[in-house]
Amino acid sequence: FTFKIITKPEVKIKNYKGLGIKPEEIKVTKDEIDHEIGHLLEEYTELVTKEGEVKNGDVAVIDFEGFKDGKPFDGGKGENYSLEIGSNTFIPGFEEQVIGMKTGEEKDLTVSFPEDYGVEDLKGQPVIFKVKVNEIKEKVTRELDKEFFEDLAMEGVDSKETLEKEVEENIKADNENKYIDHLLEEVAKNVEVDIPQEMVDEETTRLLGRFEQQMAMQGISLDIYYQFTKSSEEDLRKQMDKEAYQNVLYRLMLEEIMNLEKIEVSQEEASKEAEELAKKYKMDKEDFLKQFGGLEMIQYDLEMHKVIDLLKELNK
């Protein structure tokens, strides 16, 4: 047997103090707040079942199965898939042919995969999709009413005024995050470290898993995503490689600063934080810890926050 053990690389930081990176004064305008509220109303748009035909902008709930030369091909089947017409998420020509179909109607759609499609056997090939429309839904714009605030489920938000305040705080938080990203980027320029590719690959796998969960929440499997974005897992991993490397670099950098500055978080501090977070998310503490990854992860998270807070003070 041959074992390859990846050890934590040595991190050298030339400087992480006095870089003169100051946060900008944040002034949130009414237009910015209204713009974000408009996004929320759009995000929480209600889908209401309608009669009649599928129109552009509607969501058609469909069953579909693709056939090439009369035989089904892998990844070409879906049931009760919610397809927004006009989103251009499916093969060119697919959505256009769904327009005009009625609930319960079945139809064969003839389309061709693009020449640069990711699956060799399907590149430029004509296929037939057997499609059935199970339901048609149209978007209905929401109002700033009691039902909308209940759907938002934001603590303390139950009126237009409280929503505007919450949105303002979120905009400020986003700006704060951009400042922190800039700060970490500048500190990272002073770091020397040889990161093993295996660490980057592991982080890429984590990012890929998170992306898969996000797709699943929308009812989309990765196979279907690859089919209709003309991509593959390899393509997706390449897209995530830069973010994965940066995540690993920042983590190693912050851990080294934590050691240099002797920053520690006790179990008591972590336990108290877990209680507060569990209360915030209306969960049992033990259940919250299971989902978060245990008390050790809470400790680590608090340590990273303390390091970032210190960096902000050291670099004003």
Q: Per residue in 242-254, pLDDT tens?
A: 999 999 999 999 9
Q: How many CB atoms lie within 10 A of CB 273?
A: 17
Mean pLDDT computed over 83-101: 92
CB-based contacts of 14, cutoff 8 Å, min separation 6:
190, 191, 192
- What is the tally of helices (H) and strands (E) in the chain? 10, 7
pLDDT for the residue 34: 93
* pTM (predicted TM-score): 0.66
- Quick one: pLDDT band at residue 303, thresholds 50, 70, 90? very high
Torsion of the alpha carbons at 18, 26, 176 and 273, rounded to the nearest 10: 110
Mean pLDDT computed over 8-18: 94
pLDDT above 90: residue 304:
yes
pLDDT above 80: residue 228:
no
The per-residue pLDDT for range 98-145, each reduced to its tens digit, is 999 999 999 999 999 988 877 788 888 999 999 999 999 998 888 898
Instruction: Report the C-alpha gap between 157 and 153 in whole angstroms.
Output: 8
Share of the chain above pLDDT 90, in %: 67
pLDDT for the residue 123: 86
pLDDT for the residue 103: 96
The per-residue pLDDT for range 149-160, each reduced to its tens digit, is 888 888 888 999
Q: How many CB atoms lie within 10 A of CB 122?
A: 22
Instruction: Report the C-alpha gap between 1 and 222 in whole angstroms.
Output: 35
- Quick one: pLDDT band at residue 3, thresholds 50, 70, 90? confident
- Quick one: pLDDT band at residue 215, thresholds 50, 70, 90? confident
DSSP tag of 53: B
pLDDT for the residue 76: 87
Q: Assign 69 to helix, strand or coil.
A: coil
Instruction: Report the C-alpha gap between 138 and 201 in whole angstroms.
Output: 42
- Quick one: pLDDT band at residue 74, thresholds 50, 70, 90? confident
Judge contact between 115 and 130, C-beta under 8 A. no
Report the chain's terminal Cα–Cα distance, integer Å.
53
The per-residue pLDDT for range 258-291, each reduced to its tens digit, is 999 999 999 999 999 999 988 888 888 898 899 8
Instruction: Report the C-alpha gap between 24 and 175 in whole angstroms.
Output: 9
Q: Over the chain, what is the mean pLDDT?
A: 91
The per-residue pLDDT for range 44-64, each reduced to its tens digit, is 888 899 999 999 999 999 999
Instruction: Report the C-alpha gap between 46 and 50 in whole angstroms.
Output: 12
Mean pLDDT computed over 297-309: 95
pLDDT for the residue 45: 85
In sequence order, the β-bridge partners of residue 11 are 193
Instruction: Report the C-alpha gap between 238 and 232 in whole angstroms.
Output: 10
Query: Would you state the structure tokens that stand for residue 54, as one six-digit string?
Result: 């599928």
**Axis crossing angle, helix 160-188 with helix 233-260, rounded to the nearest 10:** 80
- Quick one: pLDDT band at residue 256, thresholds 50, 70, 90? very high
Mean pLDDT computed over 52-77: 92
- Residue 224 vs residue 196, higher pLDDT: 196
Instruction: Report the C-alpha gap between 170 and 155 in whole angstroms.
Output: 13
Lowest-confidence segment of 19-23, 216-220, 283-287 by average pLDDT = 216-220
pLDDT for the residue 118: 73
